[in-house]
Structure 1
Amino acid sequence: MEEKIRHLLNTRVTTDQIRTYFNQQEFFSRCSFYIEIKGKDLETQTTRSVPVQNLDPQRLMRVKFDAKTQVRVQLAYQTELLKKLVRSREDIAVIADKIHQGYVVGEEDDIDRKMSELEDTAAEFENSLLLGSVHNRHKLIFEANGVVVVPRLTLELKLKKPVIFERGLCVMLLNVAYLHWKIEEQEQDEPGEEFQIQYKVQDPEIHDASNRSINCGLYRAAIIPNLVPGKLYEFTINRVNSGDLVYSKWTDTIWLTTSPDC
């Protein structure tokens, strides 16, 4: 039995694998989640994306609220699965140590059940990283006097990977900042994607220290002019919010200081 337990702990549910799970969950929680709506025309049987502008805005808002709740539940579920995974592995490792020391640790069937639960929990976590359908209870398209053929809609969650500053490339001069960013684990941006940089000076004595923002296109770089010399600035970056955004909690932030005016 000890050999069977050690094989499980050293091959299927290793400490390195659990560390990978934690990294995956952290990355997942920093992504932005969107709703993708597709319609299947009942006459032509063709499927196409449905722009959110074509939908009932009030009903769409309710659907997006439900989808946001769905994402939050999924993130919380991942956290609980990781806690359970760590506890279960520790318990089984203790059993293996006691067997090695010659202690009687219980029925073999009970130990097999615990090992099976550990494997099932690992599989559950891997499945929790997949995005599925959005549960929809609302009619999103108006039916105009019954003469319009309304397509059958399918709603899916999709994610976009987090936007992060390339800290080694960001430079502050006397009164200007040169900022660069990238999409984590992604080489190219999606067509038409826009980003927003917000910034403010970290000095309560400056009269206008409120947030300012600039929208940027696909070049992954921006110049921020008219800064105050010798001051610390906070910069944050994220995608420009769109109508299909459901949930986005994480934003990357850096602090940089302009050169002093000598």
Structure 2
Amino acid sequence: MDEINMACTSLEECGAQETQIDPLPDLPNQILQLLCTRLSDDCITTMQKGLQLMQRSSYYLEIQCDDLLPTADEQQHTVHLSDSTVWSLVDQQRLQRAMTLANTQVKLYLTFLELLYEEIIRGCQELEAFVLKHNQGLVDSDIAASIQERLQQTHQYLDAFKSRLNWKLGPLDLQNQLIHITGSLPIQQLSVEKKMPVIFNRFETCTTSNTAYLCWEVAGEQSQELNQEFEIHVMSFHPTIDEYCQFTKSTCKSYIIEVNNLIPDRYYKFSVKRVDSVNLVYGLWVDTITLKTLNISKSVEAASN
């Protein structure tokens, strides 16, 4: 990639090295242009992070209803399946079929994104290799034609990846509505809603000799969402990180928790995730961090010195 980056600094120089018999004289410049823009190291890193966020997100089945009194900004609202009143009206057999369908849709979506990303990386590698061979005079017309096709495909894969990265999953095509006795509820339409992954704030999370202060956030959120419930796991290692000793679990509705009564000079593994709800169809991500409580004797000795 270093040789490619050097070449990108002067596309005209690369063009000057082409032979007169090159059937596609502009092809190397087109490739270098792509490698320096949409396939630069920064762009690939951004795509990788975007894919990772989608893989770590949680996906929920929700009911979208046509609003009885639509506003100018919104003509639908969400009826949450986790609501006890709504849950009591749901046909459970239909729900299970809908959950299976939603789970399959999410997996297909994530698999498709991953395949697109892999094809983009493979295309990038092939295009880089072609430029190097071209500069060495090792390219014939057949190879050039094949790479021209790969270049077009890579552009298409990049467009598809970008358009589907924030693609909304739904609506789900079901023969029957989940709530067969709707009462005052209007026509229902199922969709899959996404929530971004929960991650520890590693700058604010810390320990003392017997306490851990854990802070977390939701990726991409500028403010903390209300009415969120999180599950925290605490596992101690005794006497080293190779041996488990104790496990505890707790829940909270804030983005910070204080874990007390820890043992000094010991490793602890902390995990955080959203509390599972009845409408969760896919969510594998659990963020984990390992911290060590302070050694009291060393702390006292350091303070005395």
TM-score, length-scaled by structure 1: 0.83
Give the Cα separation in 2 of the matches to 1:143 and 1:157. 20
Query: 2:11 aligns to what?
Result: none
Displacement, 1:257? 2.6
Corresponding position of 1:114: 150
Other-structure match for 2:62: 36
Question: What's the offset of the Cα at 1:134?
Answer: 4.5
Native 8 Å contact 1:67 1:134 kept in 2: no
Tell me how far apart the structure 2 counterparts of residues 131 and 225 of structure 1 sit (CA, whole Å): 42
**Contact between 2:235 and 2:248, CA under 8 Å: does it hold in 1?**
yes
Does structure 2 retain, via aligned residues, the 8 Å contact 1:63–1:136?
Answer: no
Residues 34-91 of structure 1 deviation map (CA, whole Å, 9 limit, x = unaligned): 22321226x8786332231242233223312221222222222222222211222222
The answer to whether the aligner puts 1:165 opposite 2:210 as a matched pair is no
Residue 169 of structure 2 is aligned with which of 132, 135, 138?
132
Q: How does the TM-score come out when normalised to structure 2?
A: 0.72
- Residue 247 of structure 1 and its aligned partner are, at CA, apart by 1.4
Residue of structure 1 in register with 2:30 after alignment: 4
Query: Deviation digits for residues 154-192 of structure 1, max 9, x if unmatched?
Result: 222222222222223223234332222222222212221
The one-letter code matched in structure 1 to 2:199 is I
Once the two structures are superposed, residues 225-260 of structure 1 have per-residue CA deviations (whole angstroms, 9 ceiling, x without a partner) of 233343322110111122222211111111223344
Task: Select which of 128, 135, 157 maps to 1:100.
Answer: 135
Instruction: Describe the shift of the 1:101–1:191 C-alpha distance in structure 2 as closer, same or farther (beyond 3 A).
Output: same
Residues 113-122 or 251-260, more deviating? 251-260
Correspondences of 1:22-101 after superposition (within 5 Å): 22-40=48-66, 47-52=76-81, 53=87, 54-101=89-136
Aligned to 1:216: 252
Alignment CA distance shift 1:260-1:44 (3 Å): closer
Larger helix proportion of the pair: 2
Structure label with greater radius of gyration? 2
State percent identity of aligned pairs. 27
CA, structure 1 residues 236+18, in 2 after alignment: closer, same or farther (shift >3 Å)? Answer: same
Identify the range of structure 1 (12-21 vs 98-107) with the bigger mean alpha-carbon deviation. Answer: 98-107
Structure 1 CA distance for aligned equivalents of residues 209 and 130 of structure 2: 63
Q: How many residues align?
A: 256
Change (3 A) 1:103 1:209: closer
The answer for the alignment partner of 2:9 in structure 1 is: none
Distance 2:132 2:294 in 1: 60
Change (3 A) 1:213 1:13: same
**Change in CA separation of 1:257 and 1:204 when aligned onto 2, cut-off 3 Å:** closer
Q: 5+ unaligned residues in a row in structure 1: which ranges?
A: none
Task: Report how far residue 222 of structure 1 moved.
Answer: 0.9
User: SS at 1:96's partner residue?
Assistant: helix
Contact 1:33 1:248 in 2 (8 A): yes
Contact 2:95 2:178 in 1 (8 A): no
* Matched residue type, 1:3: N
Question: Could you say what the CA RMSD is over the residues aligned between the two structures, in angstroms?
Answer: 2.9
Cα distance change on mapping 1:183 and 1:105 into 2, 3 Å: same
